[in-house]
Structure 1
Amino acid sequence: MTGATKVAVREVYLDYNATTPIDPEVREAMLPFLSDEFGNPSSVHPPGRRVRKAVENAREKVARLLNASDPSEIVFTSGATEANNMAILGATILAGRKAGHIITTQIEHPCVLGVCRFLEEQGFQVTCLPVDRQCRVDPESVLEALTDDTLIVSVMLANNETGTLQPVAEIARLVKSKRPDVLVHTDAVQAIAKVPVDVQELGVDLLALSAHKFYGPKGVGALFIRKGVEIAPLLRGGHQEHGMRAGTENVAGIVGLGKAAEIAVRDFEVVTNHLWNLRKRFLRLLDELPMTRLNGHRKHTLPSTANVCLLGADALAVQANLGQRGICVSVGSACSSGSLKPSHVLRAMGLSEMAAFCSVRFSWGKFTTDDDIDYALEQTKEVVTLLREITLPEEIGVCDENCPCFFEGAGVA
């Protein structure tokens, strides 16, 4: 292990974008459906009816969270990966289309980019739009990419690596003004419970979310399908979820998702104020540690995420050393962090391989304290300073001449 080994005296979890702890209220709400309330919601006897009522109650809570016009617009899934696949495949190949055009961005989550690559292999045309150096897509570029063959536009609401918010509402407005028949889909996984997510204001047709990103259980999510929008189901063979998702419902998970949605609405103002205060506290790192840069937009951002380029310190070494000190951080998406390739998001923003390999994601949540942030800052400064002293530049690489880290006024401390 590079650097001095320290025994962790405490654990500070700063990887909330990967997953969140289950809220105690959510756990309590789920427990009856893991014991006495074991009925199948499709059964017509009393145990089945009680469970069906719980599922529909959860559906109403998720609809309220998103400001959906009707609970029937919510389809429960196993998570956001399934929801995103259902949305994109259901609007294209599963709907009987043999060809067509899909518009997305270079910074999407792997579950969106992966399904788009699959469709490309099947003969569909895919346009992956670039982003600027602050990780934002230009809405006009979406409009310019529209063709007569475009079937669906998929742009995430908040980037999972940088926290940057995308102008989804403006994109939807522009797309619908030119092609009302084109579906607009957003992966809103990282945005839920951190910024307002209102499907009426966004104007999207399809929206995916996942419970474990906002203090609910793993293995359950939902897809919002606006009334009147028709997509084909991904899973067939049963009548569940209005025929849109075959298979016996994950009742305990769905109840947990509903409770998490209820809490998100109830506590939104208090929690988001806390997250913004923690962000302000964390960003002192940029002033206190030389040669650091914030990756992403400073204004259009989640309050709970900071992706920082720590020039001269290898991100994997930073992650490992912080882990020894009890601090849990990420070097990118949890779904691809096993890869030694530089982040596709940071590269799309124009960072060189060196800058990408020196970038660490810190993400906090409602259970994070001021003291947690202070401890993480102290340990990060110590670890990075040590690694810079013992790491040769050639061990990391050389920045490209166009790397934004070296643009005048780019934010290098």
Structure 2
Amino acid sequence: MSKQITIIGTGYVGLTTGACMAHLGHQVVCIDTNVEKIAELNSGICPIYEKGLPELIAMGLETESLSFSDTADVNLLQNEFIFLCLPTPQAEDGSAELAAIYEVAENLKVSLSSEAIVVNKSTVPVGTCKAISEIIGREDIDIVSNPEFLREGSAIEDFLKPDRIIIGADTMEASDRVAELYSNLESPIIQVDCASAETVKYATNSFLAMKVSFVNALAAVCEVVGADIDSVAKGLGTDNRVGPKFLQPGPGWGGSCFPKDMQALVRLASDSGYKFELLEAVIDANAQQFKRIASKVEKAVGKPLQGVHVAVLGLTFKAGTDDVRNSPAIAVSQLMSDLGAQLNYYDPLVELLPLGLSDGIVHDSAEKAVTNTEVIVILTEWPEFKDLDWKKFQRIAKAPKIVDARNLLNPRTLRDIGFEYTSLGRK
């Protein structure tokens, strides 16, 4: 049965949620204060790079099941479901900044229709739903936690074919009403209390980050004992207690979620009287991984990086997105820059030097970035890098050396071409 839904916030989560809810048959309006952004969306222009999202937005506009507004009209706020999809950036002390959520909650309390449900999709610390309820202060309004588990690059599939749907509510009636929104999906629905739902999101991202740091450390062990990380990861991942995902070594974890959520969980635990030493160690291990990659580059060159021309392939935090926030590629690149390297970048979705990098040149092709450089460093696992003309690159590079920090390329093929090839834990 179609429901009336208002989405507050048209960022990554808000746009995906709105477009997918409309696709599931609901009547959805997305609200944002950014006038230019709303005008673009109403014209069918998607402001972010996400596979399948522009098509869903266009479909929703065409069927009039999806609309966008830059004003929080009272009528729009009287829909049965109000989804909060607002930013919760990391504060200086590591905690989540909740000002945007609390401000919206304050504005909502007089506008909501009786029996409405406020659904929070933003990543927030435990107790936020309770705080929202206290701000709104109405017994006829339920607050529900419905955390998102969207991966950039596959968000549409993650929403429409999720591993599970988490719904946290203090009443089963409210939980069931939110569950009904997903009735067209076949995924299991896990109904819990609000505090548990809020914890699940932080726990999921923190565990996955820990798994990445583990395999990065395991790759380092493989290098010193003569084992092959691909073989070890395969043997490890086929154990159904472990699973094969997130067992690919790389330059470290990053993005808009892992770093922020890890720090927030550490801070939340600390504020509650528990020192989460395990997660603190994982955060430290990730910082060390950045340094380890920079050291591998220096070792591959065979001299200090001062004045060395380096080609960096990849700037986004992973393939399939244009997001460079907290990108390991940027962290490693800045370390190399601090050591005096002259950096030449290429990323298929990055045209300008991102924030976080002090210098370097962003080229519009990998060939231009590689020309006359002394080492090529792969920091993002873009599939197209496999199909580059590596025979030509071997000729145009000043020195045929590769540090593959994503284990993307075939070592034997590159060595046969004439490259000195360095990877993470592979033979």
**TM-score bucket of the superposed structures, by smaller chain:** 0.3 to 0.5
Higher CA-based Rg: 2
TM-score when scaled to structure 2? 0.32
